[in-house]
Amino acid sequence: MTSERTRTDLILSARGLNLSRDGVALLKSVSVDIRRGSVTLLLGYNGAGKTLLLSCLHGLIEQDSGQISAPPRDRQKMVFQKPIIMRRTARRHLQFVCPGLPDDQLADWMKRAGIDDRIDAPARALSGGEQQKLALVGALAARPDILFLDEPTAHLDFAATKFIEEMIHEAHDQGTTIVMTSHNRAQAERLGQDVLLLDAGTLVESGPANRFFSAPRHPLSKQYLEHL
Amino acid sequence: MDILTPFQIALTLLATGDAELMSTITLSLLVSLTAVVTSLLIGLPLGAVLAAYRFPGRTPLIVISNTFLGMPPVVIGLLIYLLISRAGPFGFLGILYTPAAMMLAQTVLVLPISIALSRQAFESLNGEYALLFQSLGLGRLARIRALVFEARAALLTIALVCFGRAISEVGAVMIVGGNIRHSTRVMTTSIALATSMGELAYAMALGIVLLLVALAVNIASQLLRNSFRNLGHDV
């Protein structure tokens, strides 16, 4: 989407990513550029390869071929669709995922997430929404350069979704680059500045979100937007 | 034999603080707890490494360890006996018929249990946390430390299983300990001796005491588990 942009604008650049498992091509020569400070929405049907691409970009899965240029691992964070929560208190979970976080900042993050009264409760006893908030503040508290979010509001109610979106906005305002997947068109339009559309492991279209939603270029994009 | 007689004898022995019984209980606990702690110190890191990493020789290690799970205690006792008897390669240690030999035999007996169960617990947790650990960029040591902490409830259960196996064992400790009064006589060998001498009520009484000791250890572990929970550790 950014062939016209200079490389210095980019925080992450991937070229020709290929990934196969058991003879099935899951990512097919995918190339993406992520602008520094942008919110990029990764869209596509279930099984299109969104989570796989996110995992490759974050370095959780090694691609068979292709190259990725990204910030160092300690400057990246990822929040999973199903939050991975440790068997310890919410406070100790945050201390684990964000080592060195001062106590006052930790308490402040919990307060902003509205779960400060559960700070010493077992983290796994929190509700699904509270666990997702905990996972998100655990990632944001580290002030990463780039944050990967895999359907961060899937299965969440309106209030929790609103909170997560506010936190994404705030992180973005403070300069964090966001790359996230979503199946929610309204959310994609609210948050997205750039869009990448994947279909069966192939990057179908990429570009500015407003242009993508108003005038998609690829037939598959038009078809996808009709269903979204 | 009156069904109540063993209970009466057991209560009398405990109430009067029978010196021989107390020394037997003390030695039983000392030998078994030492074996459990030693096997956990060796078995837990091995289980964690086998669970978290793939390396050449891993599968043969698992197979050998699992084979020892089914090894009869008397065979383990015999092997240890051959190793530490005067003519054996470790005869110079002079530990045959001492509590040290019994600790060694029980350690060998429960070590495969601590390896197998901890590997299973760590494998399950590692599967659950692998992506998070990778995302956080944790090194090997940090991963193993986190896994051990996360598995603390399972480890308590593993320790109990190992203790149950050790305290109830008779064949191996009989062979390498010799069941010497005031020296290497533990509860199970006392029961075996009493039974062979026809003192069935006394043997049964010792069995009841053994059960009470196991009950006390389990209550203690449950209290420990509850204290974890009260601290919000979600075990």
> What is the ipTM for the molecules in this complex?
0.90
Contact B233 A89 (CB under 8 A): yes
Number of domains in chain A: 1
Average pLDDT, chain B: 90
Task: Look at residue A68 and tell me if it is in a domain.
Answer: yes
Which of B135, B145, B155, B227 is most worth mutating to test chain A (most A CB atoms within 10 A of its CB)? Answer: B135
What's the pLDDT at B35? 97
* Spatial CB neighbours of B156, under 8 Å, sequence gap ≥ 6: B221, B224, B225, B235
pLDDT at B18: 87
Q: What is the CATH number for A11?
A: 3.40.50.300
- The count of other CB atoms within 10 Å of the CB of residue B46 is 16
Give Cβ neighbours of residue A81 (< 8 Å, ≥ 6 apart). Answer: A51, A150, A151, A152, A154
Interface test with A, best of B132, B134, B143 (most A CBs within 10 A): B132
> pLDDT: is B10 or B158 the higher one?
B158
pLDDT of residue B234: 52
pLDDT of residue A8: 55
With CB atoms and an 8 Å threshold, state whether A123 touches B235: no
In B44-83, the residues whose Cβ lies within 8 Å of chain A are none
Q: What residues in A contact B233, CB-CB < 8 Å?
A: 87-89, 122
pLDDT for the residue numbered B54: 87
Q: Locate tokens 């190339």: which residue?
A: A31
Domains of chain B: total: 1
**Domain of B91?**
19-230
B59 pLDDT exceeds 60? Answer: yes
Measured between beta carbons, the chain A residues lying within 8 angstroms of B235 are 87
Asked whether residue B155 is assigned to any structural domain, the reply reads yes
As given in the structure block, the two tokens for residue B153 are 């409830």
Q: Per-residue pLDDT for chain A (228 aa), expressed as one digit of tens each?
A: 444 444 458 999 999 999 999 999 999 999 999 999 999 999 999 999 999 999 999 999 999 999 999 999 999 999 999 999 999 999 999 999 999 999 999 999 999 999 999 999 999 999 999 999 999 999 999 999 999 999 999 888 888 899 999 999 999 999 999 999 999 989 999 999 999 999 999 999 999 999 999 999 999 999 999 887
Domain annotation covers residue B117:
yes
Is B234–A80 a contact, with Cβ atoms under 8 angstroms apart? Answer: no
Q: A186 lies in which domain range?
A: 7-85+145-227
Better-predicted residue by pLDDT, B230 or B163 = B163
Can you give the pLDDT at residue B231?
A: 55
- Residue A26 resides in a domain: yes
Which residues touch A119 (CB under 8 Å, ≥6 apart)? Answer: A89, A90, A91, A107, A110
pLDDT for res B1: 64
User: At A26, which helix (H) or strand (E)?
Assistant: strand A24-35
Instruction: For B15-55, write each residue's pLDDT tens digit.
Output: 898 888 899 989 999 999 999 999 999 999 899 889 888 89
- Give B22's Cβ-side CA count (13 Å radius): 7
Residue B1 falls inside a structural domain? no
Res B152: pLDDT: 86
**φ and ψ at A33, to 5 degrees?**
-125, 135
- Decide if B168 is inside a domain: yes
Q: Provide mean pLDDT across the span B194-209.
A: 87
For residues B21 and B209, give the distance between their C-alpha atoms in angstroms, rounded to a whole number: 9
Identify whether A113 is part of a domain: no
Is residue A165 domain-resident?
yes
Whether B8 is in a domain gets the answer no
pLDDT for residue B177 is more than 80 = yes
What distances in angstroms separate CA B116 from CA B8, B74, B125, B130, one per listed residue?
Answer: 41, 21, 14, 20
The answer to whether the CB of A49 falls within 8 A of the CB of A198 is yes
**A87 and B234: CB-CB below 8 Å?**
yes
Q: Residue B5 domain-assigned?
A: no
Asked if the structure places residue A97 within a domain, the reply is no
Q: What average pLDDT does this structure show over B78-104?
A: 96
pLDDT score of A216: 94
Q: What is the DSSP letter of B84?
A: H
Question: Chain A: nearest CA to B52, how far in angstroms?
Answer: 16
Instruction: Give the Cα separation of B155 and B153 in Å (integer).
Output: 5
10 Å CB burial of residue A138 (0-12, 13-18, 19+) is buried
Whether residue B12 is contained in a domain is answered as no
Q: CA of A193 to nearest chain B CA: how many angstroms apart?
A: 25
Half-sphere exposure of B208 (CA within 13 A, CB side): 18
The shortest CB-CB distance from A120 to any of B132, B153, B232 is to: B232
User: Which one of A73, A88, A123 has the shortest CB-CB distance to B137?
Assistant: A73
- Is residue A97 helix, strand or coil? helix
Would residue B235 count as lying in a domain? no
CATH number reported for the structural domain that contains residue B94 in this entry: 1.10.3720.10
